Chain A
Amino acid sequence: MLGIEPLTAEEITFLLDQSKPFQEIQKHPLKKLATLRGKTVALAFFEPSTRTRISFATAASRLGADAMNLQAESSSLKKGESLLDTIRTLDAMKPDCLVMRHSASGAPHFVARRLPLAVINAGDGTHEHPSQGLLDALTIRDGCGTLAGLNVTILGDILHSRVARSDIYLLSKFGCRLTLCGPPMWVPREFESLGAPGSSIRRVARIEEALEGADVIVTLRVQTERLHEPALSLDEYILRYQLTPERLRRARPGALVLHPGPMIRGLEIDPAVADGPQSCVLEQVTNGLAVRMALLFLLIGTGGEATAAKDSTHAAD
């Protein structure tokens, strides 16, 4: 499971459908299954991550699998070991699958090509974050009843966002009309041709216009250290691009507000919106568990090769 881009709409629908039973399990008094008992999931996060790592670790544990945790900060990479050697060492401990995050785009693909191990991309550089794309899609499908033909607005630093890319790849396959809005440096023209063939992606400079008629709004995190790139002051960003209750009124009534986290209240999003009735932020977290349980189950749950997942690995190569 390396990315959303090579998947078809049918495969994505299958993955979302298979996440449904795991959504229910989050409501059970006893949430632990023994389905993956005896299996080991290696978590290799070469970039700081809290929520995605905890989500994958919890997903593994709720399925009865054990998680093997590589701490990037204290790992041998700091001592100069190559990525491949680190992964080979992990692989020699015989995990059943590898969940990997890396700051270099394509790093999980590099590993998947060289080792006969099931690899789940948990975010690679500015490329893709497929499990986030799937959990966003699940949240949107639950909230809107469908994915087909929605108006989705993505706000913020789209250029550096792997979440934005996975969301764009995914939603454009279902005929969503995408509107990208943010400081011009962060919303390059190339994104208009990023989606599935025939999809509609437009760039809009003014947030008020971008929100007009939106069914879903995905707000991205703004990394303050990157604000020098569009040469914008923090105050100016807030003034021009913050999602406020007034601006949200331009969207369709009841439009969903998503945020992949970590969310900086008062920067990209007004606290009144973040805590408002339209916010799906916490549903996204719960759905993230369901999606990741489904991915682990499909990849290593059965003795046979999980064909759908394997195919997409090759397609990504």
Chain B
Amino acid sequence: MRVVEKSQLMSATEIERTLGRLAHEIVERSGGTSNLALIGVRRRGVPLANRIADEMRRIDPHEVPLGTLDITLYRDDLSLVAAQPVLQSSEIEFPVDDKDLVLVDDVLYTGRTIRAAMNGLFDLGRPKRVRLCVLIDRGHRELPIEASFIGRTVQTTDAEIVEVRLNEIDHEERVMLVERVT
């Protein structure tokens, strides 16, 4: 299988502005940050959650707890995966009970990752509310899951892949639309 780059969906500046806007939206629609906590879904949700938290500190000095979640053990397709996935630790050092949680991920597609993330969260306790924040919503949902905070909605086909590339992981900063060619 070959992959060709079709177009750039977001530049570095656009990513930065979008995350800034998402941080404002989250604070605005939560009535402040006092009970909020952000949870980044591994891998690219983690740097995104970090950046949103940085942005929030500028808006409201109250420190928002930040956690990371590895969903591998909660995936519903493990029996179909051929290569051994490498487990990573989830780091959620605060009690999630009664917290107002915002899950952060890079791309919302089938919704299965978020289903897995919610299972993981509920093993830790009973949050007051869970909302979802994604940089890109590309459609094609297979589960009744929607995001509360969306950076950009993009129309895609099944053969296309949305690649969010971030400095912290990919050493470049942009969002690309690529296509599988067989």
A22-41 vs B: 1/0 string, CB under 8 Å? 00110011111111000000
Which of chain B's residues has its CB closest to A31's CB? B123
Is A33 a contact partner of B73 (Cβ separation < 8 A)? yes
Q: Which residues of A contact B85 (CB under 8 A)?
A: 302
* A18 at interface, CB cutoff 8 A: yes
Of A31, A35, A306, the contact of B84 (CB 8 Å cutoff): A306
- Interchain nearest-CB distance for B80 vs A (Å): 5
Cβ A21 vs Cβ B88 within 8 A: yes
Q: Flag whether B155 is at the interface (Cβ < 8 A).
A: no
Pairwise interchain contact A21-B70, C-beta atoms closer than 8 A: yes
Residue A50 lies at the interface, judged by CB distance under 8 Å to chain B:
no
- Residues of B contacting A294 in the complex (Cβ-Cβ under 8 angstroms): 87
Assess whether A263 is interfacial by the CB under 8 Å rule: no
Known: A21-B90, A302-B85. A35 touches B124 (CB 8 A): no
Please determine whether A297 and B79 come into contact, CB atoms closer than 8 angstroms.
Answer: no
List residues of A (91-149) whose CB comes within 8 Å of B's CBs.
Answer: none
Interface flags, B116-155, vs A, CB<8A=1, else 0:
0001001111000000000000000000000000000000
> Chain A: which residue is nearest B97 at the CB level?
A29
Residues of A contacting B87 in the complex (Cβ-Cβ under 8 angstroms)? 18, 20-21, 294, 297
Question: Which of B74, B78, B86 makes the CB contact (< 8 A) with A18?
Answer: B86
B89 interface residue (CB < 8 Å to A): yes
* Residues in chain B near residue A302, CB distance under 8 A: 78-79, 81-85
Given contacts A30-B122, A30-B124, A33-B73, contact A20 B89 (CB under 8 A): yes
Which residues of B from 73 to 115 have beta carbons under 8 Å from A? 73-74, 78-90
Chain A min CB distance to B123 (Å): 4
Complex Cα distance, B122 from A33, in Å, reads 11
Q: List which B34-84 residues lie within 8 A (CB) of chain A.
A: 70, 72-74, 78-84
In the docked arrangement, what's the CA distance between A18 and B87, Å? 6
Contact pick for A303, options B74, B78, B89, B119, CB 8 Å: B78
Given known A29-B124, A30-B122, A304-B81, contact A35–B74 (CB-CB < 8 A): yes
Let me know if A308 is at the binding interface, CB within 8 A. Answer: yes
- Asked if A307 is at the interface of the complex by the 8 Å CB criterion, the answer is yes
A190 to B32, CA, bound (A): 69
**Whole-angstrom CA separation of A31 from B88 in the bound complex:** 17
| Complex interface: chain A residues within 8 A of B70 (CB) | 21
A254 within 8 A of B: no
Count contacts on B: residues with CB < 8 A to the other chain: 22
Q: Could you say which interface size class chain A belongs to?
A: 20 to 34
Judging by beta carbons under 8 Å apart, are A304 and B82 in contact? yes
A38: nearest residue on chain B (CB-CB)? B79
Q: Inside 8 A of B82's CB, which chain A residues have their CB?
A: 302-304
* Complex Cα gap A301–B83 (Å): 11
CB distance from B95 to the nearest CB of A (A): 9
- Known contacts A33-B73, A35-B78, A303-B80; A21/B89 CB under 8 A: yes
Q: Is A298 at the interface (CB under 8 A from chain B)? A: yes
- B residues less than 8 Å from A29 (CB atoms): 123-125
Residue interface bits A59-71, CB-to-B below 8 A is 1, else 0: 0000000000000
CB neighbours of A20 from chain B (8 A):
87, 89
Query: How distant is the Cα of A297 from the Cα of B78 in the complex, in angstroms?
Result: 10
Q: What is the chain A residue whose CB lies nearest that of B87?
A: A21
Determine the chain A residues whose CB is within 8 A of the CB of B74 once the complex forms.
33-35
Residue in A closest to B79 when the chains form the complex, CB atoms: A303
A25 to B82 Cα, complex, angstroms: 25
One digit per residue, 1 when the CB lies within 8 angstroms of any chain A CB and 0 when it does not, for chain B 143-176 equals 0000000000000000000000000000000000
> Known contacts A24-B89, A301-B78, A304-B84: does B123 contact A30 (CB below 8 Å)?
yes
A28 near B124 (CB under 8 angstroms)?
yes
Chain A hits for B78, CB < 8 A: 35, 301-303
- How far apart are A302's CB and chain B's nearest CB, in angstroms? 5
Give 1 or 0 for each of A242-279: 1 = CB within 8 Å of chain B CB: 00000000000000000000000000000000000000
Q: Which of B70, B78, B125 has the most chain A CB atoms closer than 10 A to its own CB?
A: B78
Residues of B within 8 A of A303 (CB): 78-82
The 3 closest A-B pairs by CB, nearest first: A304-B82, A30-B123, A35-B73
A-binding residues in B (CB < 8 A): 70, 72-74, 78-90, 119, 122-125
Q: Name A residues whose Cβ lies closer than 8 Å to a Cβ of B.
A: 18, 20-21, 24-25, 28-35, 294, 297-298, 301-304, 306-308
Starting from the known contacts A18-B87, A30-B122, 9 additional A-B residue pairs (CB-CB under 8 Å) come to A21-B89, A24-B89, A30-B124, A32-B123, A33-B74, A297-B87, A302-B85, A303-B80, A303-B81
